[in-house]
């Protein structure tokens, strides 16, 4: 492992800060951290979880994987949905291109048409792969949708950022959207409510000022920028996980 040199660049949205980061052996195109676990998939669709200091491959093939209070879920190249149950992947009714398990035991995501869906907690925790599930279609269009402690965030095809108010586990649809200034190509909400994202230039941002009374926060702060661009970010338990455009894995202590 090697220490990464952090380059402080002029921020596009607000302030900037540096982090101490190390490169983790391996190669992934997408990563997700939650509940003290880390999962990821590589360009071949192979699925991995971090066990101690080593990546352990799981059976199956996915293009996007997520871990959180609702368990471990994923979607494959055909947009089929799966949940990890007893060490095996069980196909779930519905189709999504991106999925998130960071909500309070409910599931959220977007499909191939950028339609937005959530699965209420009551269904997510008792899921049965042999029956249809009550996916809730939420008004609007997003390419990426992620939920946490105090609400859900998403970005659309133009990289515009939105916050969804009044999201609860049952029902999970929420009440209204608010447009948030800034541009991000992907966004991830930590289980405890933190929000991080990556813009089209590979720069990483954190949303500051988020509280229960102010769930949309106040400003975006550029966290760090590296020699190579980043394309994916996830946060859990003081660890920021980054995937570069070369599919290098980087862990930063926050």
Domain chopping of the chain, boundaries: 33-203
Question: Hey, what are 55's tokens?
Answer: 């990546």
User: Model confidence over 11-48: pLDDT tens digits?
Assistant: 333 344 567 889 999 999 999 999 999 999 999 999 99
pLDDT at 113 over 80: yes
pLDDT exceeds cutoff 90 at 7: no
Q: Residue 249 and residue 240: Cα distance in Å, rounded? A: 11
Taking the domain 33-203, which CATH number applies? Answer: 2.130.10.30
Query: What pLDDT, on the 0 to 100 scale, is given for residue 47?
Result: 98
Average pLDDT score, the chain: 90
Q: What is the pLDDT of residues 118-175, one digit of tens each?
A: 999 999 988 765 568 999 999 999 999 999 989 999 999 999 999 999 999 999 999 9
Tokens (6 digits) for 248: 């290098």
Find the mean pLDDT for residues 95-121. Answer: 96
Confidence (pLDDT) at 131: 67
Are 34 and 44 in contact by the 8 Å Cβ rule? The answer is no
pLDDT of residue 19: 73
- pLDDT for 69-92, tens place per residue? 999 999 999 999 999 999 999 999
- Tell me what pLDDT residue 36 has: 93
What confidence score (pLDDT) does residue 129 get? Answer: 55
Terminal Cα distance for the chain, rounded? 18
pLDDT of residue 226: 59
Rounded distance, CA 132 to CA 93, Å?
Answer: 5
């Amino acid at each position: 492992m090697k220490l990464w040199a952090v380059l402080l660049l002029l921020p596009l949205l607000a302030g900037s800060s540096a982090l101490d980061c190390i490169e983790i052996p391996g190669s992934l195109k997408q990563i997700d951290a939650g509940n003290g676990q880390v999962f990821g998939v590589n360009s071949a669709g192979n699925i991995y979880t971090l066990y101690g200091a080593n990546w352990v491959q799981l059976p199956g093939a996915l293009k996007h994987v997520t871990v959180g209070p609702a368990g471990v879920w994923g979607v494959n190249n055909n947009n089929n949905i799966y949940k990890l149950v007893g060490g095996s992947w069980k196909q779930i009714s519905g189709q999504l291109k991106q999925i998130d398990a960071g909500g309070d035991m409910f599931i959220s995501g977007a499909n191939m048409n950028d339609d937005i869906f959530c699965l209420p907690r009551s269904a997510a925790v008792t899921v049965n792969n042999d029956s249809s599930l009550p996916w809730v279609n939420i008004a609007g269009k997003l390419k990426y949708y992620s939920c946490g402690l105090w609400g859900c965030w998403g970005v659309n095809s133009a990289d515009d950022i939105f916050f969804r108010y009044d999201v609860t586990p049952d029902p999970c649809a929420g009440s209204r959207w608010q447009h948030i200034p800034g541009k991000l190509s992907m966004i991830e909400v930590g289980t405890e409510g933190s929000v991080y994202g990556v813009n089209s230039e590979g720069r990483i941002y954190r949303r500051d000022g988020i509280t229960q009374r102010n769930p949309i926060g106040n400003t975006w702060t550029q966290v760090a920028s590296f020699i190579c661009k980043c394309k994916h970010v996830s946060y859990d338990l003081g660890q920021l996980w980054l995937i570069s455009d070369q599919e290098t894995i980087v862990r930063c202590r926050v």
